[in-house]
Amino acid sequence: MSPPSGPEKRFFDALAAGRFEIQQCAACAKHVFYPRVLCPHCGSGELGWVAASGRGTVYSTTVVRRKPGDGGDYNVCLVDLAEGVRMMSRVAGVAPQDVTIGMAVKARIAEGLVEFTPA
């Protein structure tokens, strides 16, 4: 248990410091998200941290319907990062129904979370 925290806290600590970082496996070179203890591709425990490119493509998207009084409709999507990993997120700066599959997006940090805007 040599690192000071588990990978989940490590991820959110970096995010709080303004850095979007993901894991990369030293053994198989594949990127990993969400942060884990073992590489889900090869089983290696040698997972290091690299800065995410922040470039991504919307893999799928939905508009969650919510009453206007409760804040109105919002977007939830899955984004494939250029590194080959997928994450749940949202696309900001565009109406939720205008987020489309295949849309190029770029990451930013907002309220301690990774979100995306059209690239």
Q: Helix or strand or coil: residue 109?
A: strand
**Among 41, 74, 104, 113, contact with Zn ion (rule: CB under 5 A):** 41
Give me the phi and psi of 96, to 5 degrees please: -55, -35
Query: Residue 18 or residue 70: which is nearer to another protein going by CB?
Result: 70
Per partner kind, with CB cut-offs from 5 to 8 A, the member of another protein, Zn ion, none near residue 109 is none
Which 2-61 positions form the footprint of another protein (CB under 8 A)?
Answer: 8, 12, 33-34, 59-61
- To which residue do tokens 């295949």 refer? 102
Chain center to CA of 73: 21
Spatial distance between the Cα atoms of 50 and 118, rounded to a whole number of angstroms: 23
Residues that bind another protein in the complex, under the rule CB under 8 A:
8, 12, 33-34, 59-65, 74, 76-78, 86-90, 97, 101-102, 113
